Amino acid sequence: MRTNQPKTIHLSEYKVPAYLVDTVDLRFELFDEGARVHSTLSVRRNPESAEGSAPLALDGDSLKLERVAVNGDDLAVGDYEETGGQLIIAKVPAQFELAIVTWVEPQNNTRLEGLYKSSGMFCTQCEAEGFRCITYFPDRPDVMARYRTRIEADKSACPVLLSNGNDVEKGDLDNGRHFVTWEDPFPKPSYLFALVAGDLVEKQDTFKTCSGRDIDLRIYVEPRNATKCDHAMDSLKLAMRWDEDTYGREYDLDIFMIVAVDDFNMGAMENKGLNIFNSSCVLATQQTATDLAFQRIESIVAHEYFHNWSGNRVTCRDWFQLSLKEGFTVFRDSTFSADVGSPTVKRIENVTLLRTAQFAEDAGPMAHPVRPASYMEITNFYTLTIYEKGAEVVRMIHTLLGPDLFRKGSDLYFERHDGQAVTTDDFVKAMEDASGRDLTQFRLWYEQAGTPVLKVSDAYDAEQNIYRLTIQQSIPDTPGQTDKKPQHIPFALGLLGANGEALPLCFEPGQDARNAPTERVLELTEASHTFEFHGVAQAPVPSLLRHFSAPVRVAYPWTREQLVFLMSHDPDGFNRWDAGQRLAVDVIQSQVGSSDATDIEPRLVEAYRALLNDTGVDQALVAKMLQLPSEAYLIELADSPDVAAIHRTREQVLHHLATSLREELVACYHRNSGGGTYELTSESIARRSLKNNALAWLLMTNDETGRDLALAQLRDADNMTDRMGALRALVNSDYAAERSQALADFYDQFQDDPQVVEQWFSVQSSSDRAGQLPQIHALLTHPAFDWKNPNKIRSVVGVFAGQNLAAFHNPDGSGYAFLADQVYRLDDSNPQIAARLVSPLTRWKKFAPAYSSLMRTALERIRDKPGLSDDLYEVVYKSLEG
């Protein structure tokens, strides 16, 4: 068991760097047995630092130091100290040149941070603190320098040598080696440095910017993937145009590169001019990727591209400000996806993720504010709170200011801080200065953790025609934070009359209703508010928190009649969907523990029947509305959830719906199948989604027609969405022989495509039919499984623990023990992935004692592991002790 704690870093202890670096000159000699890194820095004391002549302290991790020299003079061993992850030089001049040579071993780097090898290719990942695994450096984002990088490698093994900026020189060297030199004219923090060297092919295109410059666009992939880059390239061009149109942001270098890498800890990385992507977030063809994957690629390509301004040109002062770039950039990419696709569907997807996973995080042991006040290991803070809640916070500023003032604010922000490393407060200040609005109270969204709860009640005064709405806000305690102050919450609402008409919202008695808006954004700033709406001639049905205008939980005593009414009448598509979800949640919750399926709410069945029959409404919305709330969401909503009972009940309701709606489902299936060539429009995506949903429901009831349709679809599909839809439906059915056959055939057909094999793993690991523990163990020993590849680990272990909830929460504790075993094993090779995977166990306190004690035991075993990493220590420690 580990006895020493990792150091906790506090925002309150932030100090400007004592030394600045103006230029970084790097020379990489890449060999099979390692890499020698020559780094020459021009360093000077920071005039703004109070540290005077403090020693120079540089960060380093797993480095072999070969040389250190100041102004050309080699330092002797006593002139410097290598200690606690730092290189310390006690005496340095006010300004000097520092030369450092280090030796690293990319081929043995399984953490995938710093310089490492993936499928024979050299690549880097430096955010957040990977650059220190390459050379000693002040590895913090507020040290911004201009980089020049020369890469030398064997010409046949690594014909392509890439780094940030523009290539300025290249040539041959002795012994079959060659070099390329890159120069990046924009000062940047070390976390944006990148290098790639390997045998890659490029897909090339150009983009003409709004000022008429031609940008060279290149996507680099392994030769076998050459035909799979079109969608990523199209997405890139779409994103570049959108950022010009929407934010007035033009690309700044002459070349923009994306490289696809198989072994990657996350989705992608926005290195300046050289984005590095997980292969699964770039490569796609109709035959290999589902609609969901296509959409994911589009949004991630856009996200990383958008970082060029929100993150790179204007970067973070320190890692507490991570949401400055991530929250804003997620807001930018979701607006982009909404604009190029279906806005309502995009909003539904965002909110589903937020309510299922971010709310859970906010209620758990790792809850932290959008701007955390402390951390032990920064990689643990790339969270849904920083990303998704951070994006909601920016969205609320957009709602409060309106689109024009928001744009004025973003212009001011980019102009004022170009080339700087700044804080979330600087962002809010720019919004304030541009709009004239006071966002003082709004800033609490950055400081206070936890999901606000809005308790809403109402009363209708028929005599005076007044409708009164009272909203009370409270924010639950979170680790280290109690007694929170009320926050500034934009609350969008409308009122509906008995025929579904939108009622005018008049705040004043006698106000002219004809000019009154039918939707308003109320601004909540106090613990309790009562709003009066005048001239309301009938008791209205309120449509609350439209578009999900704030990341909060709303408690209002909706009746089932009201929900059914809102499902078909609310003019806000998001709230129509939400009403359907609330109704389904209510029905499932009231059914938990009952074995009688005959008393399942008939209005739910009829509402779904109406949806299936109504071909006049947006079919993309219908496709979403027909998806029942997930088990994960139902668990999130419950206190001491009984996972097995929730699973059983949800299946029972699904079964009942599918049986009652059999005819409509078959008709829906046929209406939405066939019909020409594969397209990626929202309309065709909706059709495929409806069809595959209908199929899945039919197979729930062991329907033979459903089975035959699925088998035929699997055989005839011309795209992966349909093939995967059919496979998933069969895998989750009771047709055991068909399931095994379909899985075997599918693997035979696609075994050479790693991205498809990952989907094949996931479809099994997420299924309670095909993903029980013995089967999961078999997947781990499958020849296609690879413990060094994070995608494979996620698609089996991550999906099992995160999506196959009944199996994971097996009352015998076997699922917990299994996860603990895998996390334990991974901690030595890839602690970042281990710390992410352990997350489902960390919520042990939420569950009933029978579950929670077993979860706790599993966590304790991890805690007691000798040599536990800092990453895992923080998460496990906070979960057990917090």
Catalytic machinery residues? 304
Measured between alpha carbons, how far is 372 from 361 in angstroms, rounded to an integer?
Answer: 14
Rounded to a whole number of angstroms, the minimum distance from the CB of residue 437 to ligand B3K is 29
Instruction: Name which position in 304, 349, 631, 722 contacts ligand B3K (CB under 6 A).
Output: 304
- Provide the residue count of the chain: 882
382 binds, among Zn ion, ligand B3K, none (CB under 5 to 8 A by kind): ligand B3K
Residue nearest to ligand B3K (CB): 127
Comparison of 281 and 698: residue with beta carbon closer to ligand B3K: 281
Comparison of 275 and 329: residue with beta carbon closer to Zn ion: 329
Measured between alpha carbons, how far is 274 from 259 in angstroms, rounded to an integer?
Answer: 7
Rounded to a whole number of angstroms, the minimum distance from the CB of residue 803 to ligand B3K is 22
As given in the structure block, the two tokens for residue 710 are 């699925």
379 binds, among ligand B3K, Zn ion, none (CB under 5 to 8 A by kind): ligand B3K
DSSP-derived 3-state class of residue 433 = helix
Q: Which residues of 597-618 are buried (b: 16+ CB within 10 A; e: fewer)?
A: eeebbeebbebbeebbeeeeeb
Comparison of 379 and 562: residue with beta carbon closer to ligand B3K: 379
- Is 97 exposed, middle or buried (CB count within 10 Å of its CB: 0-12, 13-18, 19+)? middle
Comparison of 303 and 794: residue with beta carbon closer to ligand B3K: 303
Comparison of 307 and 794: residue with beta carbon closer to ligand B3K: 307
Place of tokens 């009122």: 495
180 binds, among ligand B3K, Zn ion, none (CB under 5 to 8 A by kind): none
How many angstroms from the chain centroid is the CA of residue 242? Answer: 21
- Is 415 exposed, middle or buried (CB count within 10 Å of its CB: 0-12, 13-18, 19+)? exposed
Map the footprint of ligand B3K across residues 41-60, applying CB under 6 A: none
Considering the rule CB under 6 A, would residue 333 count as an interface residue with ligand B3K?
A: no
Contact range with ligand B3K by CB under 6 A, out of 301-309, 480-488, 596-604, 620-628: 301-309
- State how far the alpha carbon of 492 is from the alpha carbons of 347, 523, 556, in Å: 15, 9, 15
Contact range with ligand B3K by CB under 6 A, out of 57-65, 281-289, 299-307, 779-787: 299-307
Comparison of 161 and 316: residue with beta carbon closer to Zn ion: 316
Measured between alpha carbons, how far is 612 from 568 in angstroms, rounded to an integer?
Answer: 12
658 binds, among ligand B3K, Zn ion, none (CB under 5 to 8 A by kind): none
Residues sharing a CB contact under 8 Å with residue 411, sequence separation 6 or more, in sequence order: 248, 434
- Is 31 exposed, middle or buried (CB count within 10 Å of its CB: 0-12, 13-18, 19+)? middle
322 binds, among Zn ion, ligand B3K, none (CB under 5 to 8 A by kind): none
636 binds, among ligand B3K, Zn ion, none (CB under 5 to 8 A by kind): none
Instruction: Name which position in 188, 272, 303, 569 contacts ligand B3K (CB under 6 A).
Output: 303
Instruction: Name which position in 29, 243, 291, 326 contacts ligand B3K (CB under 6 A).
Output: 326
Rounded to a whole number of angstroms, the minimum distance from the CB of residue 846 to Zn ion is 29
| Window 260-279: contact mask with ligand B3K (x via CB under 6 A) | ------x-xxx---------
Rounded to a whole number of angstroms, the minimum distance from the CB of residue 306 to Zn ion is 8
Rounded to a whole number of angstroms, the minimum distance from the CB of residue 388 to ligand B3K is 12
Whether the bond between 128 and the residue before it is cis, its omega within 30 degrees of 0, is: yes
With vertex at residue 197, the alpha carbon angle to CA 193 and CA 200, rounded to the nearest 5 degrees, is 120
Considering the rule CB under 6 A, would residue 698 count as an interface residue with ligand B3K?
A: no
β-pairing, 34-45 vs 95-104, is antiparallel
Measured between alpha carbons, how far is 186 from 6 in angstroms, rounded to an integer?
Answer: 35
As given in the structure block, the two tokens for residue 131 are 């650059």
- State how far the alpha carbon of 719 is from the alpha carbons of 52, 253, 286, 388, 715, in Å: 64, 37, 5, 31, 11
Measured between alpha carbons, how far is 85 from 67 in angstroms, rounded to an integer?
Answer: 17
Please name which of 761, 763, 756, 770 lies closest in space to residue 726, comparing C-alpha atoms. Answer: 763
How many chain residues bind Zn ion (CB under 5 A)?
A: 2
Comparison of 139 and 326: residue with beta carbon closer to Zn ion: 326
Measured between alpha carbons, how far is 105 from 133 in angstroms, rounded to an integer?
Answer: 10
Which residue type is seen at 462?
A: A
| Window 33-72: contact mask with Zn ion (x via CB under 5 A) | ----------------------------------------
225 binds, among Zn ion, ligand B3K, none (CB under 5 to 8 A by kind): none
Residues sharing a CB contact under 8 Å with residue 440, sequence separation 6 or more, in sequence order: none
Rounded to a whole number of angstroms, the minimum distance from the CB of residue 93 to Zn ion is 38
Considering the rule CB under 6 A, would residue 323 count as an interface residue with ligand B3K?
A: no
User: In terms of DSSP H, where are the helices of 701-804?
Assistant: 704-716, 720-731, 736-750, 754-765, 773-780, 790-793, 799-803
Rounded to a whole number of angstroms, the minimum distance from the CB of residue 383 to Zn ion is 12
Instruction: Name which position in 25, 29, 59, 127 contacts ligand B3K (CB under 6 A).
Output: 127
Map the footprint of ligand B3K across residues 788-827, applying CB under 6 A: none
Comparison of 303 and 691: residue with beta carbon closer to ligand B3K: 303
Comparison of 342 and 385: residue with beta carbon closer to ligand B3K: 385
164 and 188 in contact (C-beta within 8 Å)?
Answer: yes
Rounded to a whole number of angstroms, the minimum distance from the CB of residue 426 to ligand B3K is 19
Considering the rule CB under 6 A, would residue 742 count as an interface residue with ligand B3K?
A: no
Comparison of 326 and 827: residue with beta carbon closer to Zn ion: 326
| Window 372-411: contact mask with ligand B3K (x via CB under 6 A) | -------x--x-----------------------------
124 and 196 in contact (C-beta within 8 Å)?
Answer: yes
Rounded to a whole number of angstroms, the minimum distance from the CB of residue 340 to ligand B3K is 19
What φ, ψ does residue 438 adopt, rounded to 5°? -95, 115
Comparison of 390 and 494: residue with beta carbon closer to Zn ion: 390
How many angstroms from the chain centroid is the CA of residue 475? Answer: 24
266 binds, among Zn ion, ligand B3K, none (CB under 5 to 8 A by kind): ligand B3K
User: Cβ–Cβ contacts within 10 Å for residue 498, how many?
Assistant: 11
User: In terms of DSSP H, where are the helices of 182-341?
Assistant: 230-247, 291-306, 322-340
Considering the rule CB under 6 A, would residue 129 count as an interface residue with ligand B3K?
A: no
317 binds, among Zn ion, ligand B3K, none (CB under 5 to 8 A by kind): none
Rounded to a whole number of angstroms, the minimum distance from the CB of residue 118 to ligand B3K is 16
Map the footprint of Zn ion across residues 652-681, applying CB under 5 A: none
Map the footprint of ligand B3K across residues 228-267, applying CB under 6 A: 266
The strand pairing partners of 492, in sequence order, are 521
Rounded to a whole number of angstroms, the minimum distance from the CB of residue 322 to ligand B3K is 8
Instruction: Name which position in 20, 58, 128, 841 contacts ligand B3K (CB under 6 A).
Output: 128
269 binds, among ligand B3K, Zn ion, none (CB under 5 to 8 A by kind): ligand B3K
Rounded to a whole number of angstroms, the minimum distance from the CB of residue 391 to ligand B3K is 11
Comparison of 306 and 735: residue with beta carbon closer to Zn ion: 306
- State how far the alpha carbon of 330 is from the alpha carbons of 306, 324, 472, 492, 817, in Å: 9, 10, 29, 22, 35
Considering the rule CB under 6 A, would residue 631 count as an interface residue with ligand B3K?
A: no
Please name which of 373, 393, 607, 579 lies closest in space to residue 496, comparing C-alpha atoms. Answer: 579
Map the footprint of Zn ion across residues 269-328, applying CB under 5 A: 326
Q: Which residues bind Zn ion (CB under 5 A)?
A: 326, 329
Q: Which residues bind ligand B3K (CB under 6 A)?
A: 127-128, 266, 268-270, 303-304, 307, 326, 379, 382
